[in-house]
Amino acid sequence: MNTTQSKNRRPLTAREVETLGRGVHSDNRNGLYLTVSNPSKGNSKGARSWIVRFTSPATKKRRVTGLGSADVGKAGSLSLLDARERAAEIMRLVRAGIDPIEAEKAAAEAEQVQQKKQAKASMTFGAYADKVLADIKRQFKNTKHQKQWEMTLRDYAKPLNDIPLADIMQDDILGVFKQVPKSEAKRGGSRVLWAAVPETARRLRGRLEDILAHAKADGYRTGENPAALTKDLSVRLDRLNDSVKPSKGHFARLDHDKLPAFMTALRTREGNAARALELLILTAARSGEVRGAVWSEFDLDAAIPTWTMPAERTKSAREHIVPLSKQAVELLRGMQPDPTQRLGLVFPGKPGARGVSRPLSDMTLTVVLRRMKRADITAHGFRSTFRDWAGDETEFAHETIEASLAHVIRDKR
């Protein structure tokens, strides 16, 4: 659009700001000009705006910067007095050797940097952990591994979720492992996470370390990683192992990460009692169910070998069918008597007065543990070991795990 500049040598008036026609009109001070465009259907007087012309102190070239609308009554528009004040500020910068356009750009960039800093400073662990999981999904070898990450963070990292990444300290990490997990609390126990489910806790610590390492790489943190297994964190975590003992009245159990070594030692021992304890562990059955088992309850030749306990031999008074693992089948096959004797007890005790075998006594499994110098655990506690393993290391629903233990799931409605 071709415009003409007014040749008036006096300052503009407020009335002229509203009424002057198309063109560029000087206020004759501080490089301030009113620009008026052609009238339009929506604006019969033409759109009006303020500009300031100045010579850049750096390049000595003429430059123009806009101040905003001059349309009277329009939201955000500048009055003549406001425009003059803004123009005077700009010219003060020019006289001081500062290019106001470059200064405005620098200020905007500084504001963006500040906003990014504030955003990073306010990024919480929970929000960032979700972001990291979304970014590294392709690195997981299988969906089970991914779900284990998600489960441990969801169930155990809650104390960190609302803490800004930059503020997380070693005490916050330690606080995660001082929690009493739900599985422990349901049994009435009070062991903390690090002591109650050590394998899961160790994996969780590594995952926290990974997330905080990503946070440092992305600029959300500086300094040392508080979840890294440094000597001082290792010492503080080890102290948690003996900080709380199991509550009285609950069966002491073996942590599931220690079970493989225990089974290796158990298999070196001879006798029916040792084999009975081995089957108890492999099936998560009760002591009385194992000691009273008879060969007719087992079907080792089926496509899925099973042990069917009749209702009269179960605590719930319901028939309970246990699918047998490969190890359990091998154990039983190694003990099977000749076909004519496959109706009696699987683990017979000493013969009675008439020469009839009786079940092992309820103390025989405890004696095995004592001879193995493991008086710190109980036979019944291996059911808790199973529950902890299934809850921490598998994705099976709580109801499925309880059904595996022949627990009756009551309707809570």
Q: What is the pLDDT of residues 278-333, one digit of tens each?
A: 999 999 999 899 999 999 999 999 999 999 999 898 888 889 999 999 999 999 99
Sketch out the chain's domains with CATH numbers: 14-119 (3.30.160.390), 125-240 (1.10.150.130), 256-404 (1.10.443.10)
Range of weakest confidence among 191-200, 213-222, 324-333: 191-200
The pLDDT assigned to 256 comes to 85
Contact 282, 331 (CB under 8 A): yes
Q: Residue 34: helix, strand or coil by DSSP?
A: strand
Q: What is the pLDDT of residues 106-145, one digit of tens each?
A: 888 888 877 777 767 688 999 999 988 888 777 777 777 7
Q: Identify which has the larger pLDDT, 250 or 30.
A: 30
Cα–Cα distances in angstroms (integers) from residue 79 to residues 22, 40, 101, in the given order: 19, 22, 22
Asked if the model's pLDDT at residue 73 lies above 60, the reply is yes
d(CA 131, CA 164): 14
pLDDT class of 265 with cuts at 50, 70, 90 = very high
Asked if the model's pLDDT at residue 356 lies above 70, the reply is no
The pLDDT assigned to 372 comes to 92
User: What would the mean pLDDT of 392-397 be, rounded to a whole number?
Assistant: 76
| Backbone CA torsion sign across 220, 226, 228, 231 | positive
The pLDDT assigned to 251 comes to 60
The average confidence (pLDDT) of the chain is: 85
Q: State the burial class of residue 100 (Cβ atoms within 10 Å of its Cβ: 0-12, 13-18, 19+).
A: buried
Residue corresponding to tokens 């012309």: 53
**Tokens read off for 406:** 């022949």
